[in-house]
Amino acid sequence: MALPSSPFTSKASAFHIPPESNPPCSLLQKHPSLSLLSGCKNMETLKQIHAQFIKFGLHNTHFGLSKLVGFCALSQSGNSNYALLIFDAIENPTEILWNTIIHGYALSSNPELALEFYVKMVSLGNYPNSYTFPSLFKSCKKLMAAQIGKQVHGCVVKLGLDSYVHIHTSIINMYAQIGELGHARQVFEKSSFRDAVSFTALIGGYVSRGCLDEARELFDGIPVRDVVSWNAMISGYAEVGRFGEALSLFENMWKLNVTPNESTLVSVLSACARSAGLQLGKRVDSWINRNGLDSNPRLANALVDMYAKCGEIDTARSVFDGMEVKNIVSWNVMIGGHTHVSEYKEALAVFRHMQLERVEPNDVTFLNILPACAHMGALDMGRWIHVYINKNCHHLQNSSLWASLIDMYAKCGSIEAAKQVFFGLETKSLSSWNVMISGLAMHGNAHGAIDLFSKLIEEGIEPDDVTFVGLLSACSHGGLVELGRLHFSSMVQDYKIQPKLPHYGCMIDLLGRAGLFDEAKSLLECMDIEPDGAIWSSLLGACRIHGNLELGEYAASSLFKLDPNNHGAYVLLSNIYAGAGRWNDVARIRTMLNDNGLKKVPGCTSIELDSVVHEFLVSDRTHPQSEDIYRMLDEIDRRLEMAGHVPNTSEVHYDMDEEWKEGILSQHSERLAIAFGLISTKPGTTLRIVKNLRVCGNCHSATKLISKIFNREIIARDRNRFHHFKDGCCSCMDYW
């Protein structure tokens, strides 16, 4: 067997263990020193117990030494080097001692040492037995060493040990897990005995290679299926997204009265979570409670995840709050659950609670909480996470985590910090390039995004469909029609990427806002997929900008068919009618809104100060500092009027006088957030606000002037993009 040279130490001066000093095991088992091993938790205690062994002569017995070696080699609290020191001091080690060392190395992070120790064992004239080889096959499996595995298999056959069931199963499992399915199947077919364990070993190999149909064929042929074989198939289906088959198989398992174990239930709940299988998930929850398993942390975590992913976030929170013991997974699934249902403020609150409980976060925690920071504009929290990662988790090689950090900074308005993280990465994943390109696009830096795309190509990295969404979005935000056409064509012709709805959406938005309606309509007609609501909304918005009534009515009609309850579409159409002076149609749309019970999504703007996110609605007076905020709002209006600002009331289409229209405009949520920011921060501090809707024209022009009057940079993120207001100007150049 071609194996590396052994690193093992030479034998120390051996203990002499005469045969007469080995009393019966039944007597040794009662010795007080041996009983101490059962409670041993660390090597310091073990060394004290070893001293006891020497004191009472137990070191002269193979039984006592095997117990010491077993603890050091196999226990998580042990030490393989210490086990080897004891072993090397034994003059004639038994087969049990050799096998114990081999088994310990097979379980360790250095399984190749098990194979080396086997070579040493044989070279010294010691013969292996049936308990030697399962550990060797386990080592070959962990090392993915097919050729060495075949050599060990040859040794088994030569020694006539292949008739042992546990060795036979180990061989099948080894071949199956390292991808040698043909050899595994051959061993299986030639065997005269095929129990559930050998079936399951082979099934596991097919499942791990994604050959689920072959695995199912084997599964259906098992004479008596144990729970492990059911688990292999159920988890296999769940892992590749065949949730219906996973859940159907579990239903059959239940009908046959096979009792599921923890692994079964976790796999099934995961499948329910990812396929919206709420009803079955509830039945599993009931079964767990009836069988007294509700205190099992792993099952409780799976239930929290299932309920959250199925939209039952209150039930998920109830399960979470009822857990007596919460581990890091528990906190992660609860934070992720709130993020999944867009309850970002609640996700941040759970994360803060986790910090108060002094639970150490991990990379999964950050992947769950960073999107919440990004959505809420919680830059202070995002910065804290970045500092924590640099200080405590700098070893992490999770490319998704760094991409999430870049995305967070970009969406929180700190594009320079996003660039620092991006350019500071030694190895940049494609996802990092993609979020950086998208971030620059969101901030209106179209040429920066295009230049970064060029660098990506120079680096020899192949762009994907997500890359082009960011690139085309940059062209759309910058009004770069020619470049947009060029990159869309290149995506299809040069990179063979089939356009998806987001790509078409960017192009139609670009063409529509440029007033190129004929070209936009042609692209719509050429699409090989049906336009979605976002595309019709983009076209409708462009029609509002350019006053294209005919096409606007067509776009609105198409949008209503897809989403009859889309309040924004009614408002846009109403604005188009108002712009054309068709007030009867404006009234008709308003009546339709009232008759259908549709309510406008309220404008909501958030601002973070000292790691606390404050939210404001239009005309909001619920904030504790409301009086001070409205005093500042009056001061803003006074100084805007002095600067010559005239409110544009054309977008407020209600039957009321101009004074009231101006009052509503001055109390938009972003104006309240800005006023709060002005009274709560030092002069010159940059204000960052996040709004859930598109900023209106009046607030846009007012905010430009506010930035100049109060000498503040104001970074505002609306539903579509970022606006950087400074010295009376906006980065969007009034093109949004």
Q: Does residue 90 fall inside a structural domain? A: no
Q: Does residue 77 fall inside a structural domain? A: yes
Phi-psi region of 515 (alpha: psi -120 to 50; beta: other; left: phi over 0): left
Roughly what angle, to the nearest 10 degrees, separates helices 363-376 and 379-392? 160
Tell which residue, 570, 544, 510, has the closest CA to residue 720: 510
Whether 522 and 611 map to the same domain: the answer is no
SS (H, E, C) 304-364: HHHHHHCCCHHHHHHHHHCCCCCCHHHHHHHHHHHHHCCCHHHHHHHHHHHHHCCCCCCHH
Whether 590 and 633 map to the same domain: the answer is no
Q: How buried is residue 190: exposed, middle or buried, by Cβ count under 10 Å (0-12/13-18/19+)?
A: exposed
Whether 426 and 568 map to the same domain: the answer is yes
Q: Does residue 682 fall inside a structural domain? A: yes
* Residue 63: domain span: 24-85
Domain closes at, from 561, 596, 631: 596
Helices (H), 19-61: 25-28, 32-35, 43-55
Residue corresponding to tokens 């040493």:
120
Q: How high is the pLDDT of residue 661?
A: 42
Whether 540 and 556 map to the same domain: the answer is yes
Distance between CA atoms of residues 272 and 303, nearest Å: 10
pLDDT in tens, 180-233: 888 888 888 777 666 777 777 788 788 877 788 888 888 888 777 888 888 888
Whether 552 and 468 map to the same domain: the answer is yes
Q: Does residue 128 fall inside a structural domain? A: no
End-to-end CA gap in the chain:
71
Whether 518 and 585 map to the same domain: the answer is yes
The number of distinct structural domains making up the chain is: 3
CATH of residue 566's domain is 1.25.40.10
pLDDT at 736 over 80: no
Whether 590 and 609 map to the same domain: the answer is no
Q: How high is the pLDDT of residue 13?
A: 32
CB 444 within 8 Å of CB 476: no
Q: Does residue 418 fall inside a structural domain? A: yes
Distance between CA atoms of residues 668 and 647, nearest Å: 12
Whether 578 and 654 map to the same domain: the answer is no
CB 12 within 8 Å of CB 85: yes
Domain closes at, from 85, 116, 136: 85
Distance between CA atoms of residues 299 and 290, nearest Å: 14
Whether 423 and 558 map to the same domain: the answer is yes
Q: Does residue 298 fall inside a structural domain? A: no
Q: Does residue 468 fall inside a structural domain? A: yes
Whether 653 and 585 map to the same domain: the answer is no
pLDDT in tens, 565-592: 888 888 889 889 988 889 899 889 888 8
Q: In DSSP terms, which residues pair with 613 in a beta bridge? A: 608
Q: Does residue 536 fall inside a structural domain? A: yes
The answer to whether the predicted template modeling score (pTM) of the entire model surpasses 0.85 is no
pLDDT in tens, 381-432: 999 999 998 888 766 667 889 999 999 999 999 999 999 999 999 889 999 9
pLDDT in tens, 369-389: 999 999 988 999 999 999 998
pLDDT at 333 over 50: yes
Q: How high is the pLDDT of residue 24?
A: 54
Cα angle 439, 408, 371 (rounded to 5 degrees) comes to 120
Q: How high is the pLDDT of residue 57?
A: 73
Whether 578 and 723 map to the same domain: the answer is no
Whether 570 and 454 map to the same domain: the answer is yes
Tell me the three state secondary structure of residue 480. Answer: coil
Domain closes at, from 537, 568, 596: 596
Tell which residue, 492, 553, 559, has the closest CA to residue 527: 492
Higher model confidence: residue 684 or residue 646?
684
Q: How high is the pLDDT of residue 23?
A: 54
CB 542 within 8 Å of CB 512: yes
Residue 127 DSSP one-character state: P
